[in-house]
Amino acid sequence: MADLTKAVGEPYGPYVHRGATSQDILDTATMLVAARTLDLLLPDLARTERALARLAAEHRDTPMPGRTLTQHAVPTVFGLKAAGWRALVLDARDRITAVRDALPAQLGGAAGTLAAFEAYGATDPTALPAAYAGELGLRAPVLPWHTLRTPIADLAGTLAFTAGALGKIAVDVLTLSRTETGEVAEGGGGGSSAMPHKANPVRSTLIAAAARRAPQLAATLYGSLAAEDERPAGAWHAEWEPLRDLLRLTGGAARDAAELAEGLRVRPDAMRAHLGLTHGLIVSERLSAELAPVLGRARARELLTELAARAYAEDRNLGELLAEVPELRGLDLAGPTDPARYTGAAATLTDRALERR
């Protein structure tokens, strides 16, 4: 403080830190750092959104297995998956924009009453926070928030949400890029120091790591809402390190996500090939509906259960086995057994999602 006062010089030196408390300065500095970080985050999210929109549009009709509880369920299209990722990015963007616009300055004095400013002769001490905030490009606070930590909690929740939203993209890419799956791949994957053949999904790994750390960091910041009196002992101090880490991790995840989305390689042939891994059983839901009017609901389910077991045991396609069932002779089952023709409204849902700006 002495050095700053000296640097300012006369006649302004005596006004340095007059009436303010250290928390006023540090909280305001925190908001300025947060603003700069969020201003860097938003362009990276915009890059990610644009890349995912392109992928969704290009692959609105690219069929692939839909997976639930790690297993093949029914067919979907990759465009819908990419559109879902994009929706999360837009959700994060909207939250960040709202929080960024609401970041407040802090100025309350020793116990949040502005008393010292009045003692130093301010005719309207309540006007000072607004002028102070305006000079810094921050929102003017309604009240001093030394122990009213809504701005920190909102920032923490938004950052944790953003990291988690990007983490969803990352873990999907990690799963789909496994050697035995190979439906997508990172552009320019990292090599292995020991295994020359590997191209590791480095960006997805870093994003996933950030997404797993972010909730615990946010939890510490939420814990600091329980701040006693007019200025706390410990609650405020506990915020410093986790908030710094949360800003850093989320900012890094956003940059990695932009590069991941822009370079992601999609392999439609692998997706189509995997639709046949379950011997045609990926369309069993549709066949249950198609055969129920012909055989009755109970008989249709019984038959499909029996043929499912045979398909695996005999390594045969469900369509072949259905063609051998006397009760079904004469029925055209080519359409109902084609996974690419059982994607429901996936393409339409993709288009609808892409309408959001």
**pLDDT tens across 231-259, in order?**
999 999 999 999 999 999 999 999 999 99
The rounded percent of the chain whose pLDDT value lies above 70 is 97
Task: State the distance between the two ends of the chain, measured CA to CA, in whole angstroms.
Answer: 47
- pLDDT for 194 equals 53
Distance, CA of 314 to chain centre = 43
Burial code (b: 16+ CB inside 10 Å, e: under 16) for 134-168 equals eeeebbebeebbbbbbebbbbbbbbbbbbbbbbbb
List 192, 265, 299, 341, catalytic entry: 192
What number is the average pLDDT over the span 147-154?
98
Statement: residue 196 has pLDDT above 50? no
**CA 271 to chain centroid:** 24
Band of residue 125 on the pLDDT scale cut at 50, 70, 90: confident
pLDDT single digits (tens) 42-57: 999 999 999 999 999 9
pLDDT of residue 199: 76
* pLDDT beyond 60 at 298: yes
| Catalytic member of 86, 203, 231, 286 | 231
Give the residue-averaged pLDDT of 293-297. Answer: 94
pLDDT grade, residue 129 (50/70/90)? very high
- Interval 335-354 mean pLDDT: 97
Structural tokens at position 22: 């250290």
**Which residues does 300 contact at the CB level (< 8 Å), separation at least 6?**
287, 288, 291, 292, 294
Average pLDDT, the chain: 95
Residue 287: pLDDT over 80: yes
pTM recorded for the entire structure: 0.93
Q: What value does the mean pLDDT take over residues 286-307?
A: 95
User: If pLDDT is split at 50, 70 and 90, which confidence band does 117 have?
Assistant: confident
Q: What is the CATH number of domain 22-104+146-274?
A: 1.20.200.10
Which of 92 and 15 is assigned the larger pLDDT? Answer: 92
Are 143 and 112 within 8 A, CB to CB? yes
Is 177 a known active-site residue? no
Q: Which of 28-37, 171-180, 181-190, 199-208 has the lowest mean pLDDT?
A: 181-190
Annotated active-site residue 231? The verdict is: yes
Is 279-355 a CATH 3.30.365.10 domain? no
Bridge partners (DSSP) listed for residue 43:
none
Select from 114, 149, 145 the least CA-distant residue to 128.
114
Residues of the chain with pLDDT > 90, as a percent, come to 87
Give the type of residue at 205. Answer: T
Considering the chain, tell me which residue range(s) the CATH 1.20.200.10 domain(s) occupy.
22-104+146-274
Give the phi and the psi of residue 188 in degrees, each rounded to 5: 65, 55
Domain with CATH 1.10.40.30 in the chain: 279-355
pLDDT at 76: 99
